[in-house]
Amino acid sequence: MAVKNISLQISLPIPSFLPKVVQLANRGVVRVTSLFANLKRYFFTIFGRIRAMREKRRQSVESVSGGFQERKPRFPIKKYIKPLIVIAVLVVVFVVAVRLLGNRSTGADNQFEVAGAEKTFDINKEFTFPLKDAKGEKIAEVKYMVEKVELRDEIIVKGKRATAVKGRTFLLLNLKISNDYKQSITINTKDYVRLSVNGNEEEWLAPDIHNDPVEVQAISTKYTRVGFPINDSDKSLIIRIGEIEGEKEKIPLEF
C-alpha cells in the first residue's frame, strides 16, 4: 500500500506586539508582565496553527491509505510553552541591556563642541538678595554674582546645539550663585536680570535662555547662566540687576 508524502508548511504570523517591544527597548523600558502575556498568546497561536496543520495532514494521509494510519503520539506542546516564553523574555531583556549600554557610550563620546565667544565683557560684581520663608521673613541671604557677559553664535541648550540665525546672536550672563544657608534652596535666576537695547529704558527684556529653577545645595556654590537672543545691530546694551520689587543697579555693557 503506497502512502503519499505530504509536506507541511506553516506560515508564522508576525506578532502585532513586537513593534511595541522594539519601541520599549528604544526607550530603555520593559514591562515584563505585559511582555510575558503577549508572548504567551503568540506561542499559543503558533502551536494552534501547527496542531491544525498536523490534523489536516493526518486526515489527508488517512484518506490516501484508506483510513488505516497508525496514530503517532501528540507532541507535548504545553510542556514547552513556558520555557520558550522565558527564553524569549530573556532575549528581549538582553537586547534592551545592550542598547542601553550602547546609548550611554555613544552619549559619552558625542560631546558637543561650540565655537568660542565672539566678544566678552567682564563684570565680576556680586549682589546679595534676601532668602525669605513662607511668612516673608528673612532667614538667610543668597549671593548672586555676575561674572561676565558674552556674545556667542553657538550655545548648548538642554543638551542640544543651538546656532543663531543670520543677523542674530546670543547674549549670555555667566552667574555664580552661593547659598550659605544650612538647607538647599531653589532660585529663579531669570527674575533678577533684565536687558535694555538701543537705549530704550522703557522696555526691559527678560531672559529667554536659562536653567530655572536652579537648585543650590546647602553651604555650596553653583554656576549657571541666563541669556537673550538679540540682533547683531542692537547697540547701547544695558543690564539691570535686582529683585523684582527691590532696588536695581544698571550696568552698561561695553564690548
Same domain, 79 and 146: no
One domain for residues 105 and 199: no
In a domain, 68, yes or no: yes
pLDDT tens per residue, range 141-186: 999 999 999 999 999 887 788 889 999 999 999 999 999 999 999 9
* 115 C-beta neighbours (distance < 10 Å), count: 10
Burial class of residue 191 (count of CB atoms within 10 Å of its CB; 0-12, 13-18, 19+): middle
Instruction: Tell me the C-alpha distance between 217 and 110, whole Å.
Output: 29
Pull the grid cell for residue 124. 565680576
Q: Are residues 88 and 193 in the same domain?
A: no
Last residue of a domain, one of 109, 142, 166: 109
Find the largest Cα–Cα distance for the chain: 109
Residues 123 and 248 in one domain: yes
d(CA 6, CA 229): 75
Instruction: Answer left, alpha or beta for residue 158, where phi above 0 means left and psi between -120 and 50 means alpha.
Output: left
What per-residue confidence (pLDDT) applies to 7?
Answer: 46
- Residue 165 forms part of a structural domain: yes
Average pLDDT of the chain is 79
Among residues 49, 81, 109, the one where a domain terminates is 109
Q: Are residues 132 and 246 in the same domain?
A: yes
Q: Are residues 157 and 234 in the same domain?
A: yes
Q: Which domain CATH number covers 157?
A: 2.60.40.1240
pLDDT digits (tens, 9 = 90+) for 192-205: 999 999 999 999 99
Domain boundary among the residues 42, 75, 109 is at 109
Q: Per mean pLDDT, which range of 32-36, 59-63, 137-141, 160-164 is the poorest?
A: 32-36
Give me the pLDDT at residue 145, please: 97
Q: Give the integer Cα–Cα distance in Å for 9 and 32.
A: 32
Together in a domain, 101 and 165: no
Q: Which residues contact 202 (CB under 8 A, 6 or more apart)?
A: none
Q: Which structural domain range is residue 25 located in?
A: 18-109
Residue 5 lies in a domain: no
Q: Is 62 within 8 Å of 69 (Cβ atoms)?
A: yes
Are 43 and 81 a contacting pair, CB within 8 Å? yes
Q: Domain total for the chain?
A: 2
Same-domain pairing of 137 and 246: yes
Do 214 and 126 fall within a single domain? Answer: yes
> What confidence tens digit (pLDDT) does each residue in 94-109 have?
777 777 776 665 444 4
Under 8 Å between Cβ of 156 and 115: no
